[in-house]
């Protein structure tokens, strides 16, 4: 086998090392194309429309297209399908670039815009007119839909279908010159009004839109339709395999028709795969736009959403999303994935990377009556007992501490092993303390717990005199730092379902809980945006990239510590 025969094969197969990777159906088709000599290279692209932020489903497409190109030693392009100026913004362009780069999909500076090819697309439209394969139509949008027919009835030809080539060229040029208002005329491909595939029934390929474009300004007032522009973009960029989701399967004949009739050499091949669906999440741009406009969320990156920007802000990592996409796999069958699998992936990613810190979200004062007043003792604690490489840190211990409200009960139920009158527990990494009393305010709310400590029981001292059943975490009251912590639930009310009878979102009123009076160990004072930690017993938390500052720390809970999700076994 020559080097040429092996240069486009996956690394695992070239080397023969390890287990042979199971091929998905896309890789199998690419292997066939390369073996048959249809293509001499592999080139893919991710082609988002800049009309909103990307979400978790887009991550699958990004990583698939990038991964295929990398596997075959090919190229991966980022290309914006910006053919609809009415909905596109430069803000969305920049947000998409950030997301793709953050996921690690390196497009090596090959960032293109469909709008950069408008001249070539216009030339292709002229070519189709001259070949008698396109015509200017005066029917309204409603009339075009009526003439198209449906799955049970063939379409009816437009009365303008047989205009001469010369008339079509003149009218199309006048459309370009801005002589007609929006909707007055369109350019349609001339294919087959009796086709069983409705997409082939003389589809519109250009429409008039007197709108300023985010990239080309006011140069154009006619814009190509997506189904016409997309295959031309792929062909211009020498994309070999146009990987897209299943809803474009019925559009594939039109894709092939365009590249064939426009006479491109080595036309790209479209292959469809199943979308990534998550249960009970909001991904629709119109829903998110309304949530933003109504002030229910604080932007497209609100951590309750599953846009890539929102997941990043909440504390998800590129590795966790890559793992999630890998577990979902590539198939031709649509299916839904439970959100708990995404949570599993971030837990697995963070559990060995994060320091385990002490934070008290609902502070209750604990006073150790027999500990010397004014004394501050520094205690050494490991940062992560499962990963010794993360080292250790020192934490101040003093007479007055904060513990969680739920770690004390005046009248406890059975099998409650934390603090209650007369019970003894270990303060994590410190000493045994025994509850000897408590204080209440005028409303009967417990405001302080009094304990005594046993100096012989210091952690690491080797004390074996007796055992306790409960261990609770704490922070020193005087040295602790204040913080705001935000706890999230699904923005959708899962019991009611995603949508009500009128198609509106069933919103969960408890999707965000803001705790403003949390107290953290002082080692967290320097936390920067996106820094993640495990807060003992409470979950993984990430410093908010928008609102957190050294003067006012804000942490988002990424995910709790426990889950019912189990990774399927082979």
Q: What is the mean pLDDT of the chain?
A: 93
Q: Which two tokens stand for residue 55?
A: 């979400």
Question: What is residue 569's predicted lDDT score, i.e. its pLDDT?
Answer: 59
For the residues 476-495, what does the mean pLDDT come to? 94
Architecture of the 285-354+484-559 domain = Beta Barrel (2.40)
**What is the rounded CA–CA span in Å between residue 228 and residue 238?**
16
Q: How far apart are CA 289 and CA 246, in angstroms?
A: 25
**Residue 125: its pLDDT value, please?**
98
Residue 3 has pLDDT above 70, yes or no: no
Which class does domain 359-473 fall in?
mainly beta
- Is the pLDDT assigned to residue 15 strictly greater than 60? no
Asked whether residue 7 carries a pLDDT value surpassing 50, the answer given is no
How far out from the chain centre does Cα 107 lie? 19
What is the structure's pLDDT at 568? 65
If one compares 22 and 30, the residue with the highest pLDDT of the two is 30
Q: 4-8, 394-398, 400-404: which has the minimum mean pLDDT? A: 4-8
% of the chain residues with pLDDT over 70 = 95
pLDDT value of residue 498: 82
Question: How many Å apart are CA 503 and CA 249, to the nearest integer?
Answer: 27
Q: Which two tokens stand for residue 341?
A: 């699998």
Structure tokens at 402: 């904060």
pLDDT at 4: 36
Q: Do domains 285-354+484-559 and 359-473 have the same CATH topology?
A: yes
Query: What does CATH list as the number for 41-273?
Result: 3.40.50.620
Over the stretch 26-84, which tens digit does the pLDDT of each residue have? Answer: 999 999 999 999 999 999 999 999 999 999 999 999 999 999 999 999 999 999 999 99
pLDDT of 14: 44
Q: Which of 46, 531, 53 is nearest to 308 (CA)?
A: 53
Q: Tell me: the pLDDT tens digits for 409-455?
A: 999 999 999 999 999 999 999 999 999 999 999 999 999 999 999 99
Per-domain residue ranges of the chain: 41-273, 285-354+484-559, 359-473
| DSSP states of 54-102 | -BHHHHHHHHHHHHHHHHTT-EEEEEE----TTT--HHHHHHHHHHHHH
The 3-class secondary structure across 241-260, one letter per residue, is EEEEEHHHHHHHHHHHHHHH
Note the pTM of the prediction, 2 decimals: 0.91
Q: Is the pLDDT of residue 570 over 90?
A: no
Report whether pLDDT(165) > 80: yes
Q: Is the pLDDT of residue 18 over 90?
A: no
The structure tokens listed for 393 are 């840190």
The whole-angstrom separation of Cα 81 and Cα 228 is 11
Rounded Cα distance between 48 and 306, Å, is 17
pLDDT score recorded for residue 21: 67
In this predicted structure, the answer to whether residue 141 has a pLDDT above a threshold of 80 is yes
Q: What's the pLDDT score for residue 13?
A: 46
pLDDT tens across 337-352, in order? 999 999 999 999 999 9
Residue with tokens 């390369």: 34
- pLDDT-derived band of residue 461, with 50, 70 and 90 as boundaries? confident
């Amino acid at each position: 086998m020559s080097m040429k025969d092996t240069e486009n094969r996956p690394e695992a197969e070239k080397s023969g090392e390890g287990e042979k990777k199971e091929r998905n159906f896309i890789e199998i088709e690419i292997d066939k194309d390369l073996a048959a000599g249809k293509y001499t290279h592999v080139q893919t692209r991710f082609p988002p429309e800049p009309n909103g932020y990307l979400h978790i489903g887009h991550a699958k497409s990004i990583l698939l297209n990038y991964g295929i190109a990398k596997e075959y030693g090919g190229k991966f392009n980022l290309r914006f399908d910006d053919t609809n100026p009415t909905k596109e913004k430069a803000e969305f362009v920049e947000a998409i670039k950030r997301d793709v780069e953050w996921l690690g999909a390196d497009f090596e500076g090959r960032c293109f815009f469909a709008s950069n090819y408008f001249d070539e697309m216009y030339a292709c439209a002229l070519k189709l007119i001259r070949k008698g394969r396109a015509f200017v139509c005066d029917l309204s949008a409603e009339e075009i839909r009526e003439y198209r027919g449906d799955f049970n009835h063939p379409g009816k030809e437009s009365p303008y279908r047989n205009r001469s080539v010369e008339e079509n060229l003149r009218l199309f040029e006048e459309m370009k010159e801005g002589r007609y208002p929006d909707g007055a005329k369109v350019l349609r491909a001339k294919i087959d009004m009796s086709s069983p595939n409705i997409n082939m029934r003389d589809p519109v390929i250009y429409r008039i839109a007197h709108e300023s474009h985010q990239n080309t300004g006011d140069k154009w007032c006619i814009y190509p339709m997506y189904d016409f522009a997309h295959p031309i973009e792929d062909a211009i960029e020498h994309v070999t395999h146009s990987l897209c989701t299943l809803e474009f399967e019925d559009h594939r004949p039109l894709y092939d028709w365009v590249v064939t009739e426009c006479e491109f050499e080595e036309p790209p091949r479209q292959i469809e795969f199943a979308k990534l669906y998550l249960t009970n999440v909001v991904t629709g741009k119109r829903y998110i736009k309304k949530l933003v406009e109504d002030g229910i969320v604080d932007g497209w990156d609100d951590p309750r959403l599953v846009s890539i920007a929102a997941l990043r802000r909440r504390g998800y990592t590129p590795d966790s999303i890559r793992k999630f996409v890998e577990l979902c796999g590539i198939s031709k069958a649509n299916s839904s994935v439970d959100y708990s699998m995404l949570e599993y992936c971030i837990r697995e990613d963070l559990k060995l990377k994060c320091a385990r810190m002490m934070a008290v979200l609902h502070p209750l004062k604990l006073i150790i009556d027999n500990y010397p007043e004014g004394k501050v003792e520094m205690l050494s604690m490991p940062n992560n007992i499962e990963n010794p490489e993360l080292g250790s840190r020192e934490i101040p211990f003093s007479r007055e501490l904060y513990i969680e409200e739920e770690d004390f009960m005046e009248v406890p139920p059975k099998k409650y092993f934390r603090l209650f009158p007369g019970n003894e527990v270990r303060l994590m990494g410190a000493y045994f303390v025994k509850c000897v009393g408590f204080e209440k305010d005028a409303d009967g709310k417990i405001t302080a717990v009094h304990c005594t400590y046993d100096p012989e029981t210091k952690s690491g001292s080797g004390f074996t005199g007796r055992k306790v059943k409960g261990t609770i975490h704490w922070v020193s009251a005087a040295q602790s730092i204040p913080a705001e912590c935000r706890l999230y639930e699904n923005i959708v009310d899962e019991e009611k379902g995603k949508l009500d009878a009128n198609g509106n979102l069933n919103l969960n009123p408890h999707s965000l809980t803001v705790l403003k009076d949390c107290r953290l160990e002082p080692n967290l004072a320097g936390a920067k945006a996106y820094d993640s930690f495990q807060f003992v017993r409470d979950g993984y938390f990430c410093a908010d990239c928008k609102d957190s500052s050294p003067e006012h720390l804000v942490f988002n809970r990424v995910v709790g510590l426990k889950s019912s999700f189990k990774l399927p076994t082979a």
